[in-house]
Structure 1
Amino acid sequence: MKPQPIQKFRISVIEDDLWYGQLLQYHLSQNPDYEVALYASGKEFFSGVRERPDLVTIDFSLPDISGDQLLRKIAQLYPGLPVIVISAQSKIGTVVELLKLGAIDYLVKDEHTRQSLWNAVRVVRENAALNQPAAAPALAPADAHGFSTLLKGNSPAIQRTFDMMARAAQTPVNVSINGETGTGKELVANGIHLHSERRKGPFVAVNMAAIPSELVESELFGHEKGAFTGAIGRKIGKFEEANQGTLFLDEIGELSPVIQSKLLRVLQEREMQRVGGNDKIKLNVRLVTATHKNLAEEVSKGTFREDLYFRIMGLPIVLPPLRERGPDIVVLAQHFLEAFCHEYQKPPLLLSAAAQAKLVAYDYPGNVRELKTVLELAAVLSNGHEIRPVDLLFTPPTKSKDFLSEEKTLREYTRTIIRYHLDKYSNNVPLIAEKLGIGRSTIYKLVQDGEV
């Protein structure tokens, strides 16, 4: 029986700079499995292409059509076709808009473009081989997504989040989640993983703010025995743990410049080495990141690498604070109340109308995490069959007048302020130090001395 020929992976390059386009075409054609066609304009592509390509790369600034218009037209003619944007244009707002329109990656023209493109195309091809139609998760508009099993609510704000989660689950692109502390960023990341093609693989979550800076590299990439003092054996890092699955890096804005550089290299090369090791380990990991910071501002300030920002941003999802979710507050409260009654083996409790009104009126600086704490305490303290307003104990920020009237010493005031922030932000020392404008060592010293 005559063997069937291997089907070529068809790539269309749309680039008006003839020299640069030929350079990309030649570079990609070094892989004999790739069939690369070059087009000088959007018009030439649409009139000249004969078969649906497997991948398209486009220049943002073409002479006959803008990048966003080209993306929309490609999506209309070839739904689901992967598109990579390659351009000298690096404005963050433009990049975000193109990714929202469906681009799976955005590469800035520089000395690393060819290698970045090579790696990006390889990832697209690998995902195309894995993505069999029969295995695709059934995702429909609105809450047929099934995300409500993890995130409770029916408000327009959370429905918009569900829609973005569904889009993220259907594509292999990286995802970045931005939201206040306590809004449920890890739940969003896990929901995307469970509805994606990687759902049979591991979901590994890491809070970067909770790891001492000197241990971050070992935690992410692992280490070999003897790599440093105390390395008594081999350690598998989080990237290896998440291979074939999803890695969620929370508070990624806390990474040092050195670790940012190493993370960028791993993402570009799709491989890594353990600390103290020589073996290169191939990686097939989808990255989801989260932060409470505005990373675009961090890039402007020079504290976060711009090239890493573009690499991890992918599809951006903004998680709304609880105060913007209106009716979801009562839905979540009833869910938590039912769970705590079951956990503490108490008869079912109802939320009185007055209690519901009190819940909705509160501002929730601690978001869903704070609501959960309030309902847990209410379930424990209640002696009747329903939760009343008196059972709901909030801890609002201290008012300046009452705070100063206590006439404490400066050190006592300092301890009170830091203790309040430790409770509010779940002992996230880097975040607290940033909000108070003090060094982390000051907080660690007070904690160590037992003063807070």
Structure 2
Amino acid sequence: MPLFPFTIFIVEDNAWYSELLAHKLAQNSDYVVRQFTSGRECLKHLSEETPNLITLDYSLPDGTGEQVLAQLRERLPEVPIIVISAQENVSTAVSMLKQGAYDYFVKDEETADRLWFSALKVREQQELRRENARLRQQVGQKFDPAQALIGSSTKIQELLTLIDKASRTNITVSLSGETGTGKELVAKAIHFKSMRRDQPFVALNVAAIPRELLESELFGHEKGAFSGAVNRRVGHFEQANGGTLFLDEIAELDPNLQAKLLRALQERELLRVGGSKPIPFDARLMVATHRDLSLEVKEGRFRQDLYYRMLGLPIVLPPLRERGHDVMLLADAFLREFCAQNTLPPLRFSEQARHKLLQYSFPGNVRELKAVVELAAVLAEGDVIQPKDLSLRNGVATESEPTGQESLREQVSRIVQQSLDANNGNILQVAHLLKIGKSTIYRMIQNNEVRVR
């Protein structure tokens, strides 16, 4: 996750102690540390700079900790403030926390270290909030899967119905389907329609992380847990707390980690690598794979108990070749988006180009279609995309192509039936798409060559 500038204000009238805290924090070269000897000086500087974290001495020359905390809270209600005091009085600590302090430390030889770890935690939380704000901006504060998951086919409408049902509860969702069908997009759609929409959506591709690092990525690690673990790290489960954790390519999970994941899901708590204290979490789980998990279980590569724990609501995403005219709806949307992003004049597909796209099977599914459309927009001459601009793989048989084992009439019947299924039995629309007379389709229905389902 990319880091952003992190500014810390130290409000402390003891110059030696202020330098001690500043020296400790400055060991992180990304931190910007400002030191102030009074509350008044700190408040005055707020007009020039807003900090990410404030440490506040309880006893200052110009006011008590309660007074300065109240003024800072009024000016900066979202900024964490850690009160540092020589007083060990529990009632004082409770009072400060009730007034909105993020934490309360008693001055001793471990205070600087505790402040260091608190600063790391605050920074991770703020980075995560920024990342999720960026994500919400991309997908829209009110995520509308009907717009993101473009299509009018029966299969996509059934998918939208399942998304709506999945968003009403916290049931685990297991997504399956060929590579490129949009499994992460569906997971985001469910999250942003659910009650957790304002909490983090955290995604992790299990196959993209080396096995020796994956446990730390999932559960985090403690300082010194292994060589190179110089600081404590919060894992993806904790980052997703309150929100949704999406684990892609779950079938690639190492058997040893399968057991640890099962335990975490059963107990609703985790152990950081090198840690001994269980940490509770509240994250909704969604998983995805392009493999048949039931087959993986049968062949002994995936734990059966974990499979049933994660199965929840299974959602199978249809391949693009089964979605009929959705191909052109998606292609037109991708073309508009690419032209707008690259300040290109509006482009359109010629009829021949549209026919070529509709006849192709798209083994790479929606992801491949998007790549094909974007390249075509670059290659096109003028404002019309021609068939020669479409870089489709050679030699890929489509469901609409002859197989050598069917008669011409059987091939025509199959193509018409696929189009009828994809377009909800709309005969006029199918006739328009396939460039055949509607009377031909009616005759095929009468002869039981196709049927409206």
Same fold (TM over 0.5): yes
Distance 2:235 2:217 in 1: 5
CA positional deviation for 1:344: 1.7
CA positional deviation for 1:297: 0.8
The one of 173, 186, 189 aligned to 2:171: 173
Distance 2:207 2:288 in 1: 11
- Cα pair distance change 1:162/1:398, threshold 3 Å: closer
Distance 2:218 2:314 in 1: 23
Distance 2:324 2:217 in 1: 39
Distance 1:342 1:310 in 2: 45
Structure 1 position 359 matched with structure 2 position 357: yes
What does the per-residue CA deviation read over 1:211-267, in whole Å, with 9 as the maximum and x for residues that have no partner? 111111001001111100111211111000100000000000000110000000000
Distance 1:222 1:322 in 2: 38
Distance 1:385 1:173 in 2: 48
What does the per-residue CA deviation read over 1:94-129, in whole Å, with 9 as the maximum and x for residues that have no partner? xxxxxxxxxxxxxxxxxxxxxxxxxxxxxxxxxxxx
1:259 partner letter? L
- Cα pair distance change 1:398/1:319, threshold 3 Å: closer
Corresponding residue SS for 2:181:
coil
Counting aligned pairs with the same residue, the percent is: 57
Is contact 2:201–2:240 with CA below 8 Å preserved after alignment? yes
Corresponding residue SS for 1:170:
coil
CA positional deviation for 1:338: 0.6
Corresponding residue SS for 1:288:
strand
What does the per-residue CA deviation read over 1:172-223, in whole Å, with 9 as the maximum and x for residues that have no partner? 1100000000000000000000001111110011111111111110010011
How many correspondences in the alignment? 256
Distance 1:267 1:398 in 2: 42
Structure 1 position 288 matched with structure 2 position 316: no
Q: Structure 1 stretches (4+) deviating beyond 4 angstroms?
A: none
- Cα pair distance change 1:367/1:398, threshold 3 Å: closer
Partner residue, 2:192: 194
Mapping 1:19-418, distance limit 5 Å: 146-396=144-394
CA positional deviation for 1:161: 0.7
Distance 2:264 2:376 in 1: 47
1:312 partner letter? M
Is contact 1:224–1:276 with CA below 8 Å preserved after alignment? yes
- Structure 1's unaligned 5+ residue stretches are 1-143, 400-452
TM-score by length of 2: 0.55
Is contact 1:145–1:166 with CA below 8 Å preserved after alignment? no
CA positional deviation for 1:304: 0.5
Is contact 1:378–1:393 with CA below 8 Å preserved after alignment? yes
CA positional deviation for 1:395: 2.1
Partner residue, 1:414: none
Distance 1:383 1:242 in 2: 47
- Cα pair distance change 1:145/1:155, threshold 3 Å: farther
Distance 1:398 1:180 in 2: 16
CA positional deviation for 1:368: 0.5
Distance 1:145 1:154 in 2: 18
Corresponding residue SS for 1:162:
helix
Distance 1:296 1:339 in 2: 38
- Cα pair distance change 1:228/1:397, threshold 3 Å: farther
CA positional deviation for 1:397: 5.3
Q: Which protein has the larger Cα radius of gyration, Structure 1 or Structure 2?
A: 2
Distance 1:300 1:342 in 2: 48
Distance 1:396 1:157 in 2: 27
RMSD of aligned residue pairs (Cα, Å):
1.5
